[in-house]
């Protein structure tokens, strides 16, 4: 008869400290939603109280190791490195490969275990569970660049250079993501989105797909007779295909959209100060918090009610973790914002034509954080600047070299394309090769296929479809 026995053993298990959980959740939360988290924390923890609406700075007596705002910036950046070192390998370590597999496993475990609001980004990342680390980083970058409709508007080449990975590596992972739910996610444009959905239904090579790929403009204007003549099929078949297309979802990200529309609230503000610009946290949107002195006195009196003392000790400890995590989030955003302003100072003076190429890895190296930390920090965050309200991701873009050796952002190239087409003759629109020649005269060497790619991203039709007779 087989017997049963108990065997004792030792095993390592990952455990998330309260500060780790708080820090990641607060870091990736925009200020509009952060207000709700702060209100929820105050409701659940009675020892937290509001001091006033104008400042986020925590009481230094309650968080003794948080750097004072008056410290030099290098000390503040050093503090950030230490704060994130617990569970995030530094950017320099990544490039040199000096961190251990245990460190990387710990960081990955933390990312995968962190719960957050059900957004499209999180839904996409969750479907990559079990992917290798090299692919997970790419999935996170793809998910972070999806717009609210679920489209990937940035080109794969530009996205690959911003991570950075090889373009063929990104293409392989992107094809996997395009099979995720919701159907049509990570599509480049409307036709691509709808074709992905047709492929799920086994109609990827059918009449509806042909119409979407080659006659979307006529379909949008309900010119079914033109389509029927062009592809030589009965009009009834075209109408049936149009009815099928009408059942598809043009905005796969729609189910993940916020139900209550809110105005965009900037996390950072860029303000002119003398000949330069300074970055300020938008602290008016958040209350200034502290631990109630009354509860601290109750704890200090050490009365006979042991149960009450244990309760207060636990709540005060939790309040300190929350305040520290909140301050860490603010310092991280401020450090990233300072680096953006330092590298894009001419943009704030002159506008889009002065936007310089910038990738997240450069900011990560300067601040001393992992590139995925920077990606999480800027995702969904906005800056109020002299050039308008801009998403922080706007400043991260690859670029080209001018003939004089200076670098320009691809946003500058896109604006130049738009300007040329806006001023073209309706009866003689510029071809992509014409645009290549015009940009070359300005000192910009851009390939024709790149012009075509950027033109499509701008929603501009090819020259033969722009021609007016």
pLDDT one-digit tens code per residue, 215-274: 988 888 788 888 999 999 998 898 889 888 988 888 898 888 754 444 678 999 999 888
Higher per-residue confidence, 359 vs 57 = 359
Mean pLDDT highest for which of 59-68, 118-127, 179-188? Answer: 179-188
Sorting pLDDT into bands at 50, 70 and 90, what band is 188? very high
Structure tokens at 228: 């029927």
Q: What stretch of H or E contains 207?
A: helix 207-214
Average pLDDT of every residue of the chain? 77
Structure tokens at 323: 């305040």
Q: How many helices (H) and strands (E) does the chain have?
A: 23, 8
Q: What is the mean pLDDT of residues 328-345?
A: 90
Res 177: pLDDT = 94
Structure tokens at 444: 């910009």
Q: What is the DSSP string of 22-76?
A: HHHHHHTS-HHHHHHHHHHHHHH-TTEEEEESS--PPPTTTSTTSPPTTS-HHHH
Structure tokens at 394: 């706007």
Sorting pLDDT into bands at 50, 70 and 90, what band is 212? very high
The region of weakest confidence among 100-104, 294-298, 347-351, 393-397 is: 100-104
pLDDT in tens, 85-110: 554 444 443 333 334 444 444 444 44
Res 288: pLDDT = 82
Cα–Cα distance for residue pair 338/116, rounded to 1 Å: 27
* Sequence ranges of the domains in the chain: 190-251, 399-466
Higher per-residue confidence, 87 vs 326 = 326
Res 17: pLDDT = 57
Q: What is the mean pLDDT of residues 196-213?
A: 91
- Whole-model pTM? 0.51
Sorting pLDDT into bands at 50, 70 and 90, what band is 111? very low
Res 55: pLDDT = 40
Cα–Cα distance for residue pair 232/458, rounded to 1 Å: 32
Q: Are 327 and 66 in contact (CB under 8 A)?
A: yes
Helices marked H in 114-206: 120-126, 133-144, 156-162, 167-177, 190-200
Q: Are 360 and 375 in contact (CB under 8 A)?
A: yes
Cα–Cα distance for residue pair 254/308, rounded to 1 Å: 48
| CATH architecture of the domain formed by 399-466 | Orthogonal Bundle (1.10)
Q: For the chain, what is the largest distance between any 2 Cα atoms, rounded to a whole number of angstroms?
A: 93
List phi, psi (to 5°) of 140.
-60, -40
Sorting pLDDT into bands at 50, 70 and 90, what band is 195? very high
Q: Are 270 and 349 in contact (CB under 8 A)?
A: no
Sorting pLDDT into bands at 50, 70 and 90, what band is 83? low
Res 402: pLDDT = 61
Q: Between helices 190-200 and 207-214, what is the axis angle to 10°?
A: 170
Higher per-residue confidence, 99 vs 300 = 300
- pLDDT over 70, % of the chain: 75
Res 70: pLDDT = 36
For 48-85, letters b (16+ CB in 10 Å) and e give bbeeeeeebbbeeebbeebbeeeeeeeebbebbbebbe
The region of weakest confidence among 75-89, 255-269, 380-394 is: 75-89
Structure tokens at 138: 């790419």
Res 399: pLDDT = 66
Among 126, 139, 125, smallest CA distance to 172 is for 139
Higher per-residue confidence, 84 vs 143 = 143
Q: Within 10 Å of residue 112's Cβ, how many Cβ atoms?
A: 13
Q: What is the mean pLDDT of residues 390-409?
A: 72
Sorting pLDDT into bands at 50, 70 and 90, what band is 18? low
Q: What is the mean pLDDT of residues 75-94?
A: 49
């Amino acid at each position: 008869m087989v017997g049963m026995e108990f065997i004792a053993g030792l095993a390592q298990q990952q455990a998330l400290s309260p500060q780790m959980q708080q820090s990641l959740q607060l870091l990736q939360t925009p200020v509009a939603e952060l207000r709700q988290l702060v209100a929820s924390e105050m409701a659940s923890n009675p020892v937290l109280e509001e001091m006033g609406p104008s400042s986020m700075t925590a009481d230094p007596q309650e968080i003794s190791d948080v750097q004072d705002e008056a410290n030099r910036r290098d000390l503040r950046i050093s503090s950030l490195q230490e704060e994130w070192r617990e569970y995030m390998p530094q950017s320099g370590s990544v490039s040199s490969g000096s961190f251990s597999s245990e460190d990387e496993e710990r960081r990955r475990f933390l990312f995968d275990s962190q719960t957050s609001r059900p957004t499209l980004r999180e839904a996409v990342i969750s479907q990559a569970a079990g992917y290798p680390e090299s692919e997970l980083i790419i999935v996170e970058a793809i998910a972070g660049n999806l717009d609210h409709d679920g489209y990937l508007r940035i080109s794969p080449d530009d996205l690959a250079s911003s991570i950075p990975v090889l373009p063929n590596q990104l293409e392989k992972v992107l094809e996997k993501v395009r099979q995720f739910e919701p159907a049509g996610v990570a599509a480049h444009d409307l036709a691509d989105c709808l074709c992905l959905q047709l492929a799920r239904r086994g109609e990827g090579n059918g009449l509806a797909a042909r119409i979407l790929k080659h006659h979307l403009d006529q379909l949008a204007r309900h010119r079914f007779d033109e389509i029927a003549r062009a592809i030589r099929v009965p009009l009834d078949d075209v109408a049936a295909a149009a009815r099928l297309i009408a059942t598809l979802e043009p905005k796969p990200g729609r189910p993940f959209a916020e139900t209550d529309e809110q105005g965009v609230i900037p996390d950072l503000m860029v303000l002119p100060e003398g000949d330069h610009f300074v970055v300020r946290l938008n602290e008016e949107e958040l209350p200034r918090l502290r631990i109630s002195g009354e509860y601290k006195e109750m704890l200090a009196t050490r009365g006979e009610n042991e149960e009450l003392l244990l309760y207060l000790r636990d709540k005060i400890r939790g309040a300190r973790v929350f305040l520290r995590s909140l301050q860490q989030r603010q310092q991280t955003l401020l450090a990233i914002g300072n680096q953006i302003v330092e590298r894009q100072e001419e943009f704030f003076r002159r506008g889009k034509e002065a936007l310089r190429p910038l990738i997240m890895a450069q900011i990560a190296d300067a601040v001393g954080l992992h590139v995925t930390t920077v990606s999480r920090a800027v995702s969904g965050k906005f800056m109020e600047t002299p050039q308008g309200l801009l998403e922080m991701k706007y400043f991260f873009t690859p670029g080209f070299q001018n003939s004089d050796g200076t670098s320009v952002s691809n946003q500058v190239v896109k604006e130049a394309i738009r300007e040329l087409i806006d001023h073209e003759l309706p009866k003689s629109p510029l071809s992509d090769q014409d645009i290549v020649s015009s940009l070359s005269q300005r000192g910009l060497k851009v390939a024709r296929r790149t012009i075509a790619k950027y033109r499509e991203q701008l929603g501009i039709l090819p020259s033969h479809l722009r021609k007016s007779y």
